[in-house]
Structure 1
């Protein structure tokens, strides 16, 4: 009993170890309900770094769904895109890249040149695309976030919060569950060369299955993570880590304690009712958006690819969502893109 009490109370102390870190922010939420189980500086302004690319990908997925692009469309590489600093794919001006290759390049390699390629293809210019990113953030309820570029490269005006990044993670999973599997990739092959990623939580934390890392000097080491344990899913954001290793260790600790907290909710005593997140309002719950009544056309192409299968574990909210949407209009077949799609291009 004492160990359970101590475990619950430790949730109150999640930020103590970060008290001497002025860039730190963290949030952990139950994906199914949106309930916040840990928050520290969660609404303080921070630099997103490459977590920015989650919004770049959101708008790319939306463009595919709306028929503006297909996975096989070739996107041209401009001088501006080619000039971006690393991390990058080292694309040259005049080159092109398939949409289907741009997605893992953004997720795994966090390629800044590819982020600009996508921005210019969808917005005409990176500046115009950044305005669209900010407008979409507002529509999602990300009230603090301002985007100035598509990559997350340093810009003093490009700011967000841990809460806003968690809200974006929910939106990606809710609106594009068929593409969430892309965020579990740890490597991919481009032009015969294997590209490996930076997100070690995917390999080192049991149950972690996606989202994104980020780093610039001004931000420290950031990560947005989702993980599943015992049929429960958490969404978590850590910003401002001193190193990638310490950031990952802190994220793992927050997830462990978050799952413990969710387990306590099944109890009927005072522990189950303990408020450990203060007055922090809930995130949007991970539930089907009633406005999305039609099966996206892009799924016909996704389902045709080898190695793609429909997940069927109803206790996982992401997978349950896929299954519910499979029955949404009585029509097409929903499928989940998986990290197994790593064939050479």
Structure 2
């Protein structure tokens, strides 16, 4: 077996690192103690691209999510667009049930047929409950049917504390989620549907002659804010998912159950500034990168590139790059035939000798067995240790 040292990074003493590699590139928990207290029932902040959790305050606590629910409604709407089931020009009919929905409105009218793009803006900018019902009834057959779709998607994404009863977030028995679940959902939304990210950044729009203004005031207060969703009911308090993109780093904070609009904004910015000031995200390898070329014995080719399928990124405290090791571990010898996609070993990242990240390394291409002469010569070389 082989360990190849390629770079270094040293963590501060007493820092606790817990990393679970997933298809989203993993998750890290950094501090044993919180650096400050957020004025809310629950909060979380982390790096979207590495999955690192940099702040956690009661993030698994089940809470009423109010209009943060609409992020899941947008997720399913974007997914339908991506699959080609609908287009931005598809018209969805407005039922009486949708028209009479209480709370924030896009001001759709009974019998109208509304373009999907207008409904997206109605949800992303104005947080219209009526627009959510229009989408739910079209995609799910009913709001109950759409809630079933929401819960199935939540389970698939690993949102363990979530149960949705409607598409808008209005109070309902059992309708709940958590700060961690909304971090997971936001990361998935940003990664899977970048082509629709501009809707939550839109500051205002006009529909049916009515000017609608985005309720996320951070869009005016910080040029690096790129989303994402506000929420409020008397039961849920004031909630906010905020995304900030600065210096190649995408951070997401979720604040749930704060006491006012001002508090949720102040605490979100405090979390995001803390993350950007204190941590950086290191891109070790991009998806599809060749991490090592390996010797192939008895093959029609003498070498094969070992690649990784997913990007490898890690978030670390700034200015602490003293003892990070990244290397490939594999078994020798590698004998043909080699299949394309065959596991060759693992790319492993260590911090101060402790493994924190691992990803399979696979063959980029097929290497068939060589001719009889190659096979015989390589058999002799292997036997003699050449």
TM-score by length of 1: 0.72
CA shift, 1:30, in A, is 1.2
1:285 corresponds to: none
Residue 221 of structure 1: how far off its partner (Å): 0.7
Is 1:195 the counterpart of 2:212? The answer is yes
Q: 1:205 maps to which residue?
A: 222
CA deviation after TM superposition for structure 1 residue 85, in Å: 0.8
**1:32 corresponds to 2:49:** yes
Q: Which residue of 1 aligns with 2:68?
A: 51
Q: 1:118 to 1:9 in 2, by over 3 A?
A: closer
Matches within 5 A, 1:244-255: 244-255=261-272
Match of 1:12 in 2: 34
Contact 1:11/1:38, CA 8 A, preserved across alignment:
no
TM-superposed CA distance for 1:269, in Å, is: 6.5
Match of 1:97 among 114, 119, 125: 114
Q: How does 1:58-207 map to 2 (within 5 A)?
A: 58-207=75-224
In structure 2, which of residues 245, 248, 252 is the aligned counterpart of residue 231 of structure 1?
248
Equivalent residue, structure 1, for 2:375: none
Distance change (3 Å), C-alpha of 1:33 and 1:82: same
**Distance between the aligned counterparts of 2:49 and 2:278, measured in 1?**
14
Q: Please tell me whether the aligned partners of residues 107 and 208 of structure 2 are also in contact (alpha carbons under 8 angstroms).
A: no
Where 2:272 maps in the other structure, the secondary structure is helix
More strand by share: 2
User: Which of 1 and 2 has greater Rg?
Assistant: 2
Tell me the distance in 2 between the aligned counterparts of 1:143 and 1:132: 15
The aligned runs of 1:280-291 (5 Å cut-off) are none
Distance 2:318 2:55 in 1: 14
Contact 1:210 1:226 in 2 (8 A): yes
Q: Secondary structure at the match of 2:161?
A: coil
- Residue of structure 2 in register with 1:292 after alignment: none
Q: Contact conserved, 1:220 with 1:240, CA < 8 A, in 2?
A: yes
Q: 1:169 to 1:9 in 2, by over 3 A?
A: closer
Inter-partner Cα distance in structure 1 for 2:197 and 2:131: 19
TM-superposed CA distance for 1:13, in Å, is 3.5
- Structure 1 stretches of 5 or more lacking a match? 271-280, 283-345
SS of match in other structure, 1:158: coil
TM-score by length of 2: 0.64
**How many residues align structurally?**
262
Give 1:79 deviation, angstroms.
1.0
Other-structure match for 1:215:
232
Instruction: Judge conservation of contact 1:11–1:257 (CA < 8 Å) in 2.
Output: no
CA–CA distance in structure 2, aligned partners of residues 116 and 214 of structure 1: 17
| 3-state SS of paired residue (1:46) | coil
CA apart distance, 1:11: 7.9
Shift of residue 248, structure 1, vs aligned partner? 0.1
C-alpha contact (below 8 Å) 1:14/1:38 kept by paired residues: no
Determine the structure 1 residue equivalent to 2:320.
267
Give the structure with the larger helix fraction: 1
Considering only aligned residues, what root-mean-square deviation do their CA atoms show, in Å? 2.3
The DSSP-based 3-state class of the residue aligned with 2:176 is coil
State the Cα distance separating 1:201 from its structure 2 match.
Answer: 0.8
**1:14 to partner: Cα distance:** 2.6
1:269/1:206 CA distance change after superposition, 3 Å: farther
